[in-house]
Amino acid sequence: MTNIIPLGGYTKLDIDPDNVLDGAKGALSTVIVIGHNKDDDTSYIAASTADKKRLLWMIEQFKFKLFNGDFD
C-alpha cells in the first residue's frame, strides 16, 4: 500500500511506465504500447488489434494532437 494517489491528467514529469500501464487498465477499447526495453534500449511495440490500418490511423491522430499542443 502506498500513500501516493494518482490524479490523472497530464504532467511534465517522467512517470514510471508500470504506473502508466496500471492507470490505463479497464479504461481503453484499443491500445498501442510503444516504448524501449530497459536493458538494451531496443524498440518495443504491441497492440490490442491486428488491423494495421487502424493502428496507423491511431498513431497519426496522436501525432497530430501532440504537434497541435493538445497534451500540454
Q: How far is CA 60 from CA 5, 17, 22, in A?
A: 32, 22, 24
pLDDT at residue number 71: 76
**Contact (CB, 8 A) for 33 and 47:** yes
* Consecutive 10-residue averages of pLDDT for the chain (72 residues): 62 84 91 91 92 96 93 74
* Nearest CA-CA partner of 35 in 20, 50, 52, 13: 20
pLDDT at residue number 2: 63
Torsion angle of alpha carbons 40, 22, 26, 13, nearest 10°? -90
| pTM of the complete model | 0.71
Please state the domain extents for the chain: 18-68
